[in-house]
Structure 1
Amino acid sequence: MRVPDVSVTLHRLVPRRFRGLPVAAPVLVTTVFLVATVLGSGAVSRALDIDSGNVWLWSSRPAEVGRVNAGAARVDVTQAVTDSRGHRVRVVQNDRYLLLYDLDTGRISSVNLTLLGFTSWLTVGKDRDLTLALSGDQAAIVDHDAGTVHGIDPGTLRGRDRRVQLAGRIVGGAFDADGGLWVGVPAAGTVVRLRFPVHVATVDRTVTVAPPGHDLRLTVLDHGALAVDRTAGRFALVDPTATRTVRSPVGLAKASVPDRTVGSLVAVTATPPDRVVAVSTDRGARPSAFALPTGMDLGTAVPFAGRIYVPCTSHHVVYVFDRTGRRTATLGLAGATGPLELEVHGDHLMINAPDSSVARVVDANGVTRVITKYQTSRPGDSGPPALIAAPGQSETAAPSGHGRGHGDADAGRGNRPDTTRATGPPGPPVPVTAVAGDARVDLSWRTPVDNGAPVTSYRLSWGGGHRTLAGAATGTRITGLRNGTSYTFRLTALNRYGRSPDALSEPVTPSGTVLAAPVGVVASTPAAGTVHVVWSAVRGATSYVVRSGGTVVGVFDSPDGDLTNLTAGRSYTFTVVARNGSDAASGPSTPSNAVTPYDAPGAVSSLDVQVNNANSITVSWGAAPGNGRTPVTYLIDKTDHGTDSTGTTRTKTYDTLTPGATYTVTVWARNSVGDGQKTSKTVTMPSSGPALAMDVSVDSTTSDTVTLTVSLAGTGLKTCAVTLAQAHWTWDCFEGGNRGAGTYTHTFTTLTADTQYDITATVTDTAGGSKSWTGTARTEP
């Protein structure tokens, strides 16, 4: 029996939804999570439908994604993802699409595995509690904190319809085998099923599973869902025709479940008291609980082929139990570090250590084999060539647009240990936006990340033609095309390290039929970080391209859209072009009114902590950008002190500190929107120790040299300088890098014979103390 794919990862994913380029995605994936992965807590469960037996796994240290042949238990293709080195990357996949979601930049990239090229990118932001769910050609972004569900296209990553707003925070978010998306709504005590007819997301079933306000968790089943009422210690099994409630044999106060469960066995992890509750979806079955090993960092249990797999990141093993709780195996990963990811793909369970070179594959019979991920292709392997390289974000204006559009912005790289700038070929120049006209197509793209070397040229190809473009180009017009013929354009960027992966346009068909241009374009700023643009609908139009200053900033399927990644504090106007189903376009609209998006202030431009003495520090910082709202005031927080407002002043002194203690100071800006990004610095105060002392001795002289030795005592030495006044020479005792107590010797040269020189020496420490010495030395005649 074929088992749909389920994966468990440590962090919640973002939207993964595909609507298709030229080809509609077949059965795809359902993503969720709660337990063990790259952040070290939590895990993700996603149900995938991958018929080929090929699974892509991420390796963070070499920054590469490898395609594993699950049946052969080996990697047959590896591809560098240069710009994501050391990052946490989630991989969402089926036979046609590969999505790479970089958690540290908040960026999703879409790859069409049929056409072998990148097709789009989308920035959803860092540190957001999002789940991406996908089934067939339906996909949705579930925003847990906002309580919204939003359908997107897997190829273009554009939204398909308006978000569905639910009552408060939501949990879960996965498709069942019947194409229904289930989420839990704790504030209402309900679970909700959504359907996604073309361009419309609707709630078609609401089931009460607990009193309003109870703490819920949700795992989606093949046909229905199981709600975990952590407040009451109950399970609610929702199937297509009925709902039944079952009491748990153990407490569920901190219970977790994967977002998607395949098969009739559900595993609920309850910690404490470190138990797994095995729940059968069969009618009349009663749940049973068994104990887990204690004192370990255990993740969310994942059922697969009648067994229950529990990852342990502290020992880098996976414990295997049968449904009665008998441990049948312990699967180790020798040399593994960091978190573990468990994913069920078809008839195999993949166990990946993304921070290490090892993985395991387990078949439905429990047979397991070790996979070495860091290896190259072998002769005779089949499958697509290596094509993936993470699209980075340049610092030039980038397209943006949430809601029913797509977009990106520089989301930053996150606080990960390996942030050294990567070098290599450029990232793919996605998205490639195509607008067709009469026997022509206008193309535009964004400048890709250069990975250490500027782009020198682009190569563009299409059916019947090719062109080389300058490295500064961000668009071109192709003429002489045939009306009524569909074209897909393939673009690569080159630098001195090599060529990027291919970026693909959507298929477009030139036409002599001209759409009317949109009219009445109006822009507004309804909320922080958002510009809303609206215009009149155009008869025959199926999508609209929004530009600002010649740059594509959004593509929308309806006559309005939200742009959420523009630069706050900068003025924009917009023009709109209408496209039909073949992407044949109208002329541009007249420009909109000018608007200036606003947001919370940015981070302070610098932060310095000066130690005045063993009991005092002075903190100073640079101005933060106001991002379209003033005035900007500043707040500062110090360990054991609390938060103070300094108004518009950018300095603060703290006294009465403890010698030898360590303090962290954090500074951020605030405007009418809210608080900006915080910047922190840690300082250790000098401790009490030997008193600061200095002595200087003149060791020898010649007709043109004086040699002397400086002896220092004390702790926290900061500066030491010796000056020969008449010669205008100054020597830094610490020029060699050592700043400790001890002796330092130096020879002053090229002096004048038979001349007396006045010597001044001064030493200071970080506690604000200083000592000086004065004397003389005479050169020989």
Structure 2
Amino acid sequence: MNAAEPKSATRRRFSAVVRGRAAIALLVTACLVLVGVAISGRAPLPAGLQFTQVGHWVYSNELQSAIHVDGGTNQVDARASVPGAEQGSQVAQGDRSGYVVERSRISMFDKSTLSVENTATPPATETPVVLESVGGPYLVYRNAGQIARLGDPTATVPAGGPLSPPVVTSTGTLWVHRIDNGSLCELPKGTTRLACPAQLPAGHGGLLALVDDQPVVLDTAADTLSPIGKDGLGEPTAIGVKLPATAQVANSAVDGRLAVADPERNQLHLIDTTGLGQSRPAAKPVSVELPRDGRYAGPVATTHVVALVDETRNEVRTYDAKGSLKSTKKMPGKSDKTRLARGEDNRVYVDSADGAHVLVVNGDSGAVTEVAVDEQARNQTTSAAAPPPSSERADNPPPASPPPSKPSAPPVAAATAPGAPRNVSAAAGDGSATVNWVAAADNGARVTAYHVSWPGGSTTVGGGARSASVTGLAKGSSYTITVVAENSAGRGSGASARVLIQGPPAGAPGVSVNAKLGGQVSASWTEPDLHGATLLHYVVSATGKGDQQVSGTSADFSGMSGAVTVTVRAVTRYGSGPALTGATGRGSATVPTEPPTIKITKVLSWDVVLYVSVTVDGKGSETTCEVTGNQGGKSGSVPCKGSLDIKVTPGNWAGALTLTATVKSAGGSGTDTWSGTPQVKPPGSSGGVPIWLGPIALLGARREKDKRGKEKGVS
């Protein structure tokens, strides 16, 4: 690369070089062995076929090779020579190729031939985060804000700013968090542009993780956990522990709890995620004390255990979701810095800095096994290159023999029915379920279909599918769903998962709140949409009060003050399933501190109608007002607040006029009285000389008006 070459050209060159790999790769039916051993039984890979990567590749500094470790057998079983790579290089794998990743170079080798095919220049000169997944692998250059996808299609995607540690789902969607502006962005499999559906508030730190294979963000400023969806952030759940900005979160949850390492307190917190998005409090976190003088890398989670490395002691520690220590094991030799990675085979692999040793963490039990990488690779190489027996040396040649006949082709093993699909799981929906699995062993013939069955129905999906949707299931019922793989030799054995079908939680009740003088507050609500579930009870709380269970649709509170908000949630159940807490309904009111007051400020008369101006102070409560006269006539009860005019219908006025204004609220009532002669003036008029009329004149004016009305009616 020319030093003057622009970065954009470098990125284009990077993508073009990686795309230049062989168009057709071969599927090896025999086990991969060390370099020099013949590979047989290869066949073209069907387009679009996806694999769960088995095992882990590590770069050995001494042997200058990428070496494959089978986590199931804890044995070295393949070696690709990649000379000249820098110490501590990472190795990533895709469906067909492996990649030795250095800061200044990426070397691609074919996993079937174990030979280097190409090299490329990375988009940034820093050590990236490597994520192996469907559609990947991905290299995330956090400081430079660049994402390199080595899978099909290869691409370099700019993120626009520095990133926190990324995560990737089982479907190949990469999620990243922009540190500078809080954006939470996704890069789905096969796409080349980020979409950012959510954003953290300014000044809040965020750590990404997966819960049930869905992205969540841990807000280290608010100490909350929120799901991320297409419409933004979901309802936050308090995690129950204060975290520093330096906290480190695991890639995914372990049996309903998310592991978070606190390096400042040397603690491992296991945070409850089972109530995420369900509007109910989370369970108290489990906190584990770690050795006080330790310096920790990780954590990294599998299905049932979480692993982290105490770099001070050069030791791997594993825990389950309850915080129980499952295993500890030291990394052999001296290592400046270890590297943890979760494989797609549900194991954690811990590499020594020189690649000479790998510790394999069992994803179910937490047991840790050492693999002496360099030693195994050297022994296998020595065995393959052993010198001939002394009788075959040049100074003692063997007797002549006839020329060898042409070797026959090795026998091809007959294909058998596939194995059972692995890791079958089912997630309940609203009268439905989504079933997921890991590919079954093909046993010599490509899997062409997966058959999914349950009591009352079945469906079939293609051999490349890893999930299926099941609909028409009865709410409140449990189902056993079985998945069976099929190839040209027939159907294999099935694997099952059990799931309880539920509908959605209840909707939000409509809540009304009434507050009275003396701190008495009463609330009532309407029954929400239960979606066909059985109502168990309501959970009701008011400002400053704890939750209480209520079977009816009303509740009273005493000793309240100020602004009061009452929340109501319906708790329901489908059949024998767990209780579900519904959406929250809210209502508010202000507790009055004293009765309301009213003041008559002006009385106007026009056309035998009185207009009484009043000023009302409700003391924080809703009020109604009424004006009555001593000679008949009244306004009726009207809502009132602040300054307003109240219209009083005609009464039998004669002599001195007295008006009484009354205001009422939940805090009590108040009155004001006015006596005198009204000012005659059209309502809403401005200026002019007021006309003052005594009671007799007012009565005459009224009679004159009545007379004119009668005459008009006669004519």
Q: TM-score, normalised by structure 1?
A: 0.38
RCO comparison, higher one (Cα < 8 Å, 6+): 1
Q: Report the structure, 1 or 2, having the larger helix content.
A: 2
Q: TM-score, normalised by structure 2?
A: 0.41
